[in-house]
Amino acid sequence: MVVGARQVGKSTMLKQLAKDQNRVFVTMDDAQIRSLAEADPKLFFKLISRLS
């Protein structure tokens, strides 16, 4: 998890790192994604792993 001030490049940096290391970038800004992660973490990771 990365936190910090707005508009300083956090998302841009993480997207670039994810791409270079065959990882998936997921934001918790979407309420449905966040709710799934909270309610059923195993299912969340299972679904997210299919994106890579």
The tens digit of pLDDT for each residue in 21-48 reads 878 888 888 999 999 999 999 999 999 9
Q: pTM to 2 decimals? A: 0.68
pLDDT of 10 above 80: yes
Indicate the pLDDT class of residue 52, thresholds 50, 70 and 90.
low
* 3-class SS string, the chain: CCCCCCCCCHHHHHHHHHHHCCCCCCCCCCHHHHHHHHHCHHHHHHHHHCCC
pLDDT of residue 23: 84
pLDDT at residue 51 in the model: 74
Higher pLDDT, 44 or 17: 44
